[in-house]
């Protein structure tokens, strides 16, 4: 965040940590009314775009302490089941996206893309799979 504070001002760095804690932010080349940068004041977002367009910024978490990954697994899985992205989960829990991945890896969970959604119906009936 030192680079952000140096190039855009302390207030922009603080706004990022308040609005997008623990995320890896891609700074688009143009301001959009939707998306992560819309959470900031437009002038702050435009300052970021001027200095960091086309780059990723790791925004630190506001939490001074962290729990063990296995202690947060059920929280993460519940949010995944709600359909939240890893970025949204990180913001909701106040951790980084990397930490969300670490939590799932520590529990031996499959990649999120491989996880079956709880509302998804099976393609085949279990009885059809066993042939006599």
Q: Which tens digits make up the pLDDT trace of 46-86?
A: 999 999 999 999 887 655 345 677 778 888 999 988 888 88
Cβ distance 40 to 46 under 8 Å? Answer: no
Cβ distance 91 to 23 under 8 Å? Answer: yes
Q: What's the confidence (pLDDT) of residue 120?
A: 63
Neighbours of 94 (CB within 10 A): 13
> What are the Cα distances from residue 93, in Å, to 24, 40, 46, 109?
15, 19, 27, 18
> What are the Cα distances from residue 97, in Å, to 54, 63, 89?
19, 14, 8
Residue 92, both tokens? 């909701």
Cβ distance 98 to 61 under 8 Å? Answer: no
pLDDT in tens, 101-131: 888 888 888 877 666 556 666 666 655 555 5
Domain ranges of the chain: 2-58, 69-114
Q: What is the pTM of this model?
A: 0.50
Q: What's the confidence (pLDDT) of residue 104?
A: 87
């Amino acid at each position: 965040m030192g680079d952000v504070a140096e190039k855009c001002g302390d207030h922009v760095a603080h706004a990022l940590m308040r609005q997008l804690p623990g995320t890896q932010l891609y700074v688009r080349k143009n301001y959009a009314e939707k998306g992560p940068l819309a959470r900031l004041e437009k002038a702050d977002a435009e300052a970021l775009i001027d200095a960091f367009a086309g780059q990723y910024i790791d925004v630190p978490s506001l939490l001074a302490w962290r729990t063990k990954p296995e202690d947060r697994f059920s929280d993460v899985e519940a949010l995944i089941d709600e359909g939240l992205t890893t970025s949204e989960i990180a913001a909701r829990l106040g951790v980084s996206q990397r930490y969300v991945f670490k939590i799932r890896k520590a529990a031996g969970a499959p990649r999120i893309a491989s996880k079956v959604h709880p509302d998804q119906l099976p393609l085949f009936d279990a009885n059809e799979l066993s042939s006599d």
